[in-house]
Structure 1
Amino acid sequence: QLSGGQQQRVALARILAYGPDVILLDEPFSAMDTFLKEQLRIELVNSLKDFDGFSILVTHDRDEAFQFCDELIIMDEGKIIAKGDTYEIFENPKRVQVARLTGCKNISRIDVIDDFHIRSLDWGVDFEVSERISPNITHIGIRAHNFSAAKKDDVNVIDTADSTLLEMPFEWEVTLANGLWWKQDKRIREHEFVIPEYLKVDPKDIILLEE
């Protein structure tokens, strides 16, 4: 007769009552609505602060992994493809599949122009990067929030002609004609948005990736 949220709270209380050394949380927030999920996330974070043992969270949710885990192990087709500090993996995923699993929306194959310049084969844009390009780099990634309005003569400028605009409650989602995806925060009462003529991305926000 308990709701899903109540069942999860009772299950956690029963586990903690035993004073375990290890807690395994396997998709603990699946099949819950957004409001309940956020409530339980806060409760679980507070509960784990007082837990002296070791906790393992299994999840497909990028936000849950970032919120709860000091360290990550990322698996793909049964193999570990990345492990280490959570912040470091999100900031520098190093591999294409790790970048995808941490939520990077824009990933392209590249040709190398010189040590600090590449050509995106999927978007048809040349970019300057902040890190020397090693021979094993085959792709770049750009997170959808890392674009900003630009002038035509700025570094790493992209023309936004023929872009598609989609309104979400708290974001504008802009898809450029070449397939690049930009997310811009908005307020709930804002319903008008003019796409800038040009966008840019900082060289340090371009992620260098191996296949």
Structure 2
Amino acid sequence: MSLIVDIKKKLKDFSLEIFVKTDGEYLGVLGASGSGKSMTLKCIAGVETPDEGVIVLNGKVLFDSKKKINLKPQDRNIGYLFQNYALFPHMTVEENMGLALTKKEKEQKVSKMIEAFHLKGLENKYPNQISGGQQQRAALARCIIYKPEILMLDEPFSALDSHLKDQLQDGVLELLKLYDGEVMMVSHCMNEVYRFCKKLAIIDKGKSVLLGDTKEVFNQPKLHAAAQLIGCKNISRCEILTSNTVYAIDWGIILETERIITKNTKYIGIHTHDFKAIDVDKAESEKNVMKCRIDKIVEDVFEYNIFLQNKESSKENSNADILFKINKEEWKDRKDKENVYLKVPEEAILLLE
């Protein structure tokens, strides 16, 4: 199974230039709101038409601008789960599922899907009479019942509150085991794509800028835009000094790196949990240590967000805040809360273009 998308489309605010390729593994598409994620799905589904390029699903050409091929949406065999689920409000759950099935198919398939998707007792309910999670399951079942070659999920959890979202993610993962085909999920939430997808494409301002293994991208995002999308809160401009040392301009510190620094490196990044707070007596003997002053502290449920600045920075422009997250108990046990010595582990430094 495979999907190849190589398309361009001129939009009002930007030009869509997308290249993604799958090989049967779940593909996540991560990007900020308005970056072109949903438009990409619409082009694949045939709801929108690219200006140029090709779309091929399992060897079948869905779109080819040069050969003037552009299959109708109903001929593409694609399951498309919209953000708002798009259930027909005047139809019951059962009617929504069996909309395009013959009477015989309905008898065979709908009851099985009702059972598999835990919708027993809701067959005759209308969408406005069931919960958001039940609507999602009904919409997902409606997509899968026709055995599409690819299932596309457009921000599948965006309409749900955080408590319900956590509950349903595990449920959807389990339900997707009932489907044997390509899965493509777009989201602006890094946790969703990390949990669901083995492959990841990053879209930034209409362009696919990175494609790779999800865990590898999160471990080393390579690009400034990609680092932001996977949740890296600490990013500084940098000057390369040697193959393993770099000056972080916005933090005013020279850092040693484990990775070899390439000439294209323009930024470095550090995840908030990768810093280590060390005692003052260890600061002299450790590498990559900043003596910081606290700018502000923001309390979360289980941890503190400590906003810091390098106290020993000698340059005026080296005063950007550094965000460090620390467990409440660990912070409570610290003796010195006025000065924080932060160690930057060499292996934790992200090198970004």
TM-score after normalising by structure 1: 0.92
Map Cα deviations across residues 172-191 of structure 1 (whole Å, 9 max, x no partner): 1111024111112347xx99
Give 2:341's aligned residue: 198
Map Cα deviations across residues 109-144 of structure 1 (whole Å, 9 max, x no partner): 111222211111111111110122221111101011
Given candidates 183, 188, 193, the residue that maps to 2:325 is 183
Greater Cα offset, 116-125 or 1-10: 1-10
Map Cα deviations across residues 131-174 of structure 1 (whole Å, 9 max, x no partner): 22221111101011101122212111011223422110022111
Give 1:170's aligned residue: 302
- The within-5 A match list for 1:50-69 is 50-69=178-197
* Residue 157 in structure 1 maps to residue 289 in structure 2: yes
Q: Which amino acid is 1:152 matched to?
A: A
Q: Secondary structure at the match of 2:226?
A: helix
Q: Secondary structure at the match of 2:342?
A: strand
Greater Cα offset, 84-93 or 151-160: 151-160
Q: Secondary structure at the match of 1:197?
A: strand
Q: Secondary structure at the match of 2:293?
A: coil
Q: Which runs of 5+ in 1 are unaligned?
A: none
Contact map agreement 2:294 2:306 (CA 8 A) in 1: no
Cα RMSD after superposing both structures: 1.8
In the alignment, the residues of structure 2 paired with residue 131 and residue 167 of structure 1 have an alpha-carbon distance, to the nearest angstrom, of 34
Given candidates 192, 196, 203, the residue that maps to 1:75 is 203
Q: Which amino acid is 1:157 matched to?
A: V
Contact map agreement 2:295 2:308 (CA 8 A) in 1: yes
Q: Which amino acid is 1:156 matched to?
A: N
* Residue 34 in structure 1 maps to residue 159 in structure 2: no
In the alignment, the residues of structure 1 paired with residue 331 and residue 322 of structure 2 have an alpha-carbon distance, to the nearest angstrom, of 22
Return the offset for 1:81: 0.4
Given candidates 235, 239, 257, the residue that maps to 1:107 is 235
Q: Secondary structure at the match of 1:160?
A: strand
Give 2:4's aligned residue: none
In the alignment, the residues of structure 2 paired with residue 117 and residue 191 of structure 1 have an alpha-carbon distance, to the nearest angstrom, of 30
* Residue 6 in structure 1 maps to residue 173 in structure 2: no
TM-score after normalising by structure 2: 0.56
Contact map agreement 2:294 2:340 (CA 8 A) in 1: no
Q: Which amino acid is 2:150 matched to?
A: V
Return the offset for 1:39: 1.1
Contact map agreement 2:150 2:183 (CA 8 A) in 1: yes
Give 2:110's aligned residue: none
- Number of residue equivalences: 208
Return the offset for 1:199: 1.3
Q: Secondary structure at the match of 1:35?
A: helix
Q: Secondary structure at the match of 2:255?
A: strand
